[in-house]
Amino acid sequence: MTAGADLRAWSTEGRQPSIAIIGAGMSGIAAVVKLRRAGYSDLSVFEKTDRVGGTWRENTYPGLSCDVPSRWYSFSFALNPDWNYRYSYGPEIQAYMETVAEDFGVTDVVRFRTPVTDLRYEAPSWRLTTGNGEELRFDIVISATGVLHHPAVPEIEGLDTFEGACFHSARWDPSVEIAGKRVGVIGTGSTAAQIVGAITQDVGEMFVFQRTPQWMAPLYQKKYSSFTKRLLRLFPFLQRFGYDWYKRGMIRVFGAATVGDKNKQQILSRICRKNLEQNVSDPELRARLTPDYQAACKRLVFCSDFYPAISQPHAHLVTDAIARVTPKGVQTADGSVHELDVLVLATGFDPSAFILPTKVTGEGGRDLETFWDGAPRAHRAVAMPGFPNFWMLEGPTGPVGNLSLITVTEHQLDYVISMLDKMKAEGLAAIAAKEAAFREYNDAMREAIPNTVWVTGGCTSWYMDKSGMPNLYPFPPQRYLDDMQDPDFSEFRLMRDGEGEALAAA
Ligand code: NAP
């Protein structure tokens, strides 16, 4: 970290670049490990809370699990023979994140309880301001803040008048007793499905408020035996084999199904329909749970517990629209009041925030929030024109959905490292995406997106942003991963000391 103004480029001074990484979740951990391995050692991670883990630290709701197989939902540099389940539960993933952070010396460079409030580009480096009022200067900034971390609290009349306990799924309150209580869950996304599946057996009555039915695929959970773990430890190549096997399979099936492979889409639809038919015997309930859009249009839910749970006699699927929340419960449009002790808002997240509300000011005073205007876009999901030496992990329009985001992040890091290597080799002061390359890349995506199931599938989802289009990568995910291994530097302005300052001062 470079204190005070230092307007000479690190690459011409022959020193290490000082690199600020914002966030100590999965991406921040991967960033430290991969950057160090590539020879970059002046690293500082800024974490607003007091623990690493990101989404796995923040979400603690009952039933929390990852519907991407553990063998693949792992860092490629820290495969884990000891996973207990094929699909890990949240606490085990959080423990894994903490272990990796400790074992790889990540924790040593994390500044906990230090939110970053302001980032300002002063060519060729960044001035970073923390919530504690400290001002620091870095050559490179990497945003590792994740995608879904700002809870979307629904605007429902009277929500604040509810007399029972009420919280968002990402703010689960463990002190609230749910056993034997009347619990309401608003939403039927991946989170709600996991919560309802996990707690219905314990509660007195369960009310699920469904605005739109979801297609749900079964989750073939499996506990790994100690024999399997021993075998994997004895023959580590089997761990690599498991990682590659799941990676190839998931990318081939889910990646292809979403971006236009009609056969795979139909297979997914059949799997979901069969799952519903086999697990919900009441035809009236089944009809109310049946979506009228294509499977994988919304992010596909993988859960084997939801249908059995909602079929219980003490569980109620409420499909009338919510009119208001009253002190006693939720009132629906038909006038009924569903009395509750606990109300859980499994209503998702703001998907357009990314690093915001941190104020990010690039060249010529370009403001990131204004530049995005509710429809965030980036070049190859990692860079924005006007924001030199600023890189995003899990930024806008990267491949998401039923994939391991760890793999996506690692490929993005390889790309960023290629940029740093280029700066070092050529004595560059700054690199920024060219406006034209950014436009071309996003135009190509805009053309392709109408062919994806997110648009043709006939639904709305959190994938859609203010532009009315899904904020996603519309080509096969493998293409993205391959492209990130092979950067085309002609898409970037490669600036030497002094260049770019005129624009910055404008
Ligand atoms: P979500 O998919 O955005 O679902 C939010 C739910 O709340 C939807 O059913 C939505 O209904 C409903 N809702 C929102 N506002 C409402 C309102 N005002 N009134 C009534 N209903 C309302 O959120 P999520 O379930 O938290 O999942 C978000 C994403 O997190 C997932 O898509 C996934 O990418 C990730 N996730 C992953 C896992 C995993 O296992 N890997 C687990 C959990 C979450 P509509 O459908 O009508 O909008």
pLDDT of residue 164: 98
Closest C-alpha among 142, 504, 153, 151 to residue 355 = 142
Whole-number Å distance between alpha carbons of 264 and 239 = 28
Instruction: Give pLDDT, residue 500.
Output: 64
Query: Is 474's C-beta closer than 6 angstroms to any atom of ligand 1?
Result: no
Tell me how far apart the alpha carbons of residues 80 and 71 are, in angstroms, rounded to a whole number.
7
What residues have CB less than 8 Å from 119, skipping those under 6 apart? Answer: 126, 127, 128, 129, 141, 358, 359, 360, 361, 390
pLDDT of 3 reads 42
Determine the atom of ligand 1 nearest the C-alpha atom of 211.
47
* Average pLDDT per 10 consecutive residues for the chain, totaling 506 residues: 59 94 98 98 98 98 97 98 98 98 98 98 97 97 95 97 98 98 98 98 98 97 98 97 95 79 87 97 98 93 97 98 98 97 97 95 97 97 98 93 91 98 96 98 94 91 91 92 95 87 42
CA distance 185 to 201: 14
Report the distance separating Cα 270 and Cα 308, nearest Å: 19
Among 200, 162, 161, smallest CA distance to 181 is for 200
Query: pLDDT value at position 264?
Result: 84
Measured torsion, CA atoms of residues 111, 113, 116, 122, in degrees rounded to the nearest 10: -30
Choose one of 347, 462, 472 to mutate for the ligand 1 pocket test, by most ligand atoms within 8 angstroms of C-beta: 347
CA separation for the pair 138, 154 (Å, rounded) = 38
Q: Return the DSSP state at 320.
A: S
Q: Quick one: pLDDT at residue 256?
A: 77
Which ligand 1 atom lies nearest to the CA of residue 169?
26
Which of 68, 191, 350, 465 to probe ligand 1 with, by most ligand atoms within 8 A of CB?
191
Q: What is the pLDDT of residue 5?
A: 43
Asked if 353 contacts 465 with a C-beta cutoff of 8 angstroms, the reply is no
Decide: 487 in ligand 1 pocket, CB within 6 A.
no
471: which strand partners? Answer: none
Does ligand 1 have an atom closer than 6 angstroms to the CB of 348?
Answer: yes
The edge-to-edge listing of strands for the beta sheet with 329-332 is 322-325, 329-332, 337-339
